[in-house]
Homo-oligomer: A and B are copies of this chain.
Amino acid sequence: MSQNLWAGIDIGGTKTAVVISADPPRVLKRIEFPTLPANGPEHAIAKIQSGLRGILAELNSFPHFLQGVGVSCGSPLDAKRGIIQVPPNLPTWIDIPIVEILHSAFGCPAYLENDANAGALAEHRFGAGKGADNIVFLTMGTGFGAGIIIDGRIYQGTNGNAGEIGHVRLTPDGPVGYHKAGSAEGWISGGGMAQWAATAIRAAREAGERSLLLELPSDYKLTSRDVGLAAEKDDPLACRIVTLLGEKLGHALAILVDILNPQRIVIGGLAMRLGERLFAPARRALAEEALPHSVAACEIVPASLGESIGDVAALCIAMDAGAPAKNSS
């Protein structure tokens, strides 16, 4: 097969995926394996390389048809120099020059981008951000962060740290996220929500309320999935928790809308699962809190790439389309 190919590598704390595409976002071949950060990066990097060679061979293709390799990975990293800098979920990946490694191995340009920015580009090119010039993509999962697209390109900021809305304080005090009490990540991430929801659940238990969430063992570690499932069954306590989560999300949206006046905010992760139960109070809080002209100009929508976002994000980085100038070694 002698067609142009792009490879995407999505490195997460749990698993790493390697995909190949001739026509992104459509994936031709995909492999996935546990990243096992405790074993150090060498093991995983060797598997990335052998895996990519393997799927190229399966396609009867050769590395020289690769037009680019894109890596999407958690922050912190140095996108310009192509170095992964000890993300919290990859504690053994200390200053790994992944771009240089892949460029040497495959001879094609390689690029690195953090997962929020890569996801923003993916949703902008192929998902719910299509057709908009300026979007903010919010990841709402373990953490809470943003990727900013301005004039169709990733806005990285001066040293690659733009979009850290999760670190912004929403309340003087409150649940801790990103090492900060009352931060947007403390309120709005899955981990943050588990903290403050536990308080709400304890109060409900003491008040003798009935709720599916009260049937869970008291030493059970609540997840956002549990709350979402109970809310889907109209459990009043779970619905209250999702409503408060939506209000806090609305306050974070308001800050982004007042400062960036974006055309669309695309929200992934938890938001896709919680749907209108989350979006309705979020939009209401946004409308109360931000400038009416800017609220009117901004659509708030769920992400649309779903589970495939990591694959598509890495492929978008490989294509380098819409991304800022990057080091290809």
The interface of chain A, by Cβ under 8 A from chain B, is: 76, 133-134, 146, 150, 155-165, 167-169, 171-172, 251, 254-256, 258-263, 289-291, 293-294, 297-298
Further 5 A-B residue pairs, CB within 8 A, beyond A255-B255, A259-B260: A159-B261, A161-B293, A164-B261, A172-B172, A255-B259
9 A-B pairs within 8 Å (CB atoms) are namely A134-B157, A150-B150, A161-B261, A162-B260, A163-B261, A167-B258, A168-B254, A169-B251, A255-B255
Shortest Cβ gap from A148 to chain B (Å): 8
Residues of B within 8 A of A258 (CB): 164-165, 167-168
How far in angstroms is the closest Cβ of chain B from A116?
Answer: 12
Contact B293 A263, beta carbon cutoff 8 Å: no
Residues of B within 8 A of A290 (CB): 167
A163 / chain B contacts, CB cutoff of 8 Å: 259, 261
* Nearest CB of B to A129, in Å: 13
Check A158 against B255 for contact (C-beta < 8 Å).
no
Contact A259 B294 (CB under 8 A): no
Contact present for B259 and A159 (CB under 8 Å): no
Q: Return chain B residues, CB-CB under 8 Å to A76.
A: 293
A264 to chain B, nearest CB (A): 9
CB distance from A248 to the nearest CB of B (A): 13
- Do residues B294 and A157 form an inter-chain contact, with CB atoms below 8 A? yes
Q: In the complex, A293→B77 CA distance in Å? A: 11
Name which of A157, A168, A262, A291 has the most chain B CB atoms within 10 A of its CB: A157
Bound Cα distance A312, B294 (Å): 28
Q: How far is the CA of A185 from the CA of B297 in the complex (A)?
A: 22
Within the complex, what minimum Cβ distance (angstroms) separates A38 from chain B? 26
Partner of A157, one of B156, B167, B260: B260
Q: How far is the CA of A168 from the CA of B291 in the complex (A)?
A: 9
Residues from chain B with Cβ under 8 Å of A155 in the complex: 150
Residue of chain B at shortest CB distance from A294:
B161
CA distance A289 to B263 in the complex (A): 28
A158 to B294, CA, bound (A): 8
Give min CB distance, A179 to chain B, whole Å: 10
Cα–Cα, bound, A235→B231 (Å): 58
